[in-house]
């Protein structure tokens, strides 16, 4: 009798043990200039950590973690993708999916993906224009080929090595990672960067202000000095020389959402969006 009870309990619990989900995702951008959106966007964003993420194209590593990439023939959101493609206000950038089991947050892997244009021919990984970096490298090398350059992150290079740093890997318009897991409910975590060329002001040098008409013998207490831009002594106030340069700016999409199976969800952002459906098989 006990064996029969155990067998019945196993049969009842089997569907939950064997649960499988198809995850289908569409990512798109809005055809709008970031300057037209009433948002404050920082020029520099902390880099997304991809150390634990598995690339969507690494089929072997994904299968080892219980993930099977979805063939386009199994897509069920083609209608939504085509509507976005035909709409003047949107540009679809990615359409992909995968099948996974009933994975916990700890067991579910982060999936890394890229899409859109490759800007690596125009910009360095930190967003700096390659043309501007090449000019700066040439000037530095001409001044002193053995000069040590310290970057913002504390790394040091010699000027002779700077040309090597101009080469880099692909720098895609869209890059990010996603994770889908079960914790009583279905959850989706997404951290994505949309990269767009932008412009910023940079300080390229200084020049002394015009001191014509100021008596160098005046003291700080004299009204002529108090109302001028001249500092007494050997110190002289200078004016910053500013130029506008092009750089690659990242706009972050960072979301965590609770999902319902077989429901289509739309996650919004001022510059981009995600359509996602998690189908229980």
Whole-number pLDDT of residue 148: 37
Whole-number pLDDT of residue 116: 95
* The dihedral sign for the CA sequence 238, 242, 247, 253: positive
Confidence of residue 131 (pLDDT cuts 50, 70, 90): confident
DSSP code, position 259: E
- Count the neighbouring beta carbons within 10 Å of the beta carbon of residue 224: 12
Whole-number pLDDT of residue 191: 98
Whose CA is closest to 248, among 123, 96, 86, 90?
Answer: 123
- Count the neighbouring beta carbons within 10 Å of the beta carbon of residue 153: 6
Whole-number pLDDT of residue 129: 85
Confidence of residue 37 (pLDDT cuts 50, 70, 90): confident
Can you give the pTM of this predicted structure? Answer: 0.71
Give the CA distances from residue 11 to residues 3, 14, 100, 129, 264, in Å, rounded to whole numbers and listed in that order. 12, 5, 22, 62, 31
Residue 124 has pLDDT above 60, yes or no: yes
* 94-121 pLDDT, tens digit each: 999 999 999 999 999 999 999 999 999 9
% pLDDT > 90, the chain: 53
């Amino acid at each position: 009798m006990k064996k029969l009870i155990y067998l019945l309990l196993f049969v009842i619990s089997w569907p939950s043990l064997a649960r499988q989900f198809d995850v289908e995702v569409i990512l798109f951008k809005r055809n709008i200039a970031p300057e037209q959106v009433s948002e404050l966007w920082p020029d520099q964003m902390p880099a997304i950590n991809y150390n634990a993420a598995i690339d969507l194209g690494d089929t072997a590593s994904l299968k080892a973690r219980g993930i099977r990439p979805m063939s386009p023939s199994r897509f069920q959101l083609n209608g939504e993708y085509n509507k976005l493609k035909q709409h003047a206000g949107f540009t679809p950038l990615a359409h992909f999916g995968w099948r996974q089991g009933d994975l916990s947050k700890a067991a579910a892997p982060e999936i890394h993906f890229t899409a859109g244009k490759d800007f690596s021919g125009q910009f360095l990984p930190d967003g700096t224009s390659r043309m501007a970096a090449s000019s700066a490298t040439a000037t530095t090398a001409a001044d002193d080929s053995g000069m040590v350059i310290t970057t913002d992150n504390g790394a040091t290079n010699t000027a002779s090595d700077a040309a090597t740093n101009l080469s880099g890997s692909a720098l895609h318009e869209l890059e990010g990672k996603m994770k889908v897991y079960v914790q009583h409910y279905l959850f989706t975590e997404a951290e994505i960067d949309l990269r767009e060329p932008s412009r910023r002001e940079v300080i390229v040098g200084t020049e002394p202000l015009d001191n014509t008409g100021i008596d160098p013998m005046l003291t700080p207490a004299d009204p002529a000095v108090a109302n001028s831009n001249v500092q007494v002594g050997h110190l002289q106030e200078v004016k910053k020389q500013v130029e506008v340069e092009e750089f690659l700016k990242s706009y972050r999409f960072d979301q965590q959402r609770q999902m319902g199976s077989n429901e289509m969800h739309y996650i919004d952002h001022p510059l981009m969006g995600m359509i996602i459906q998690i189908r229980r098989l």
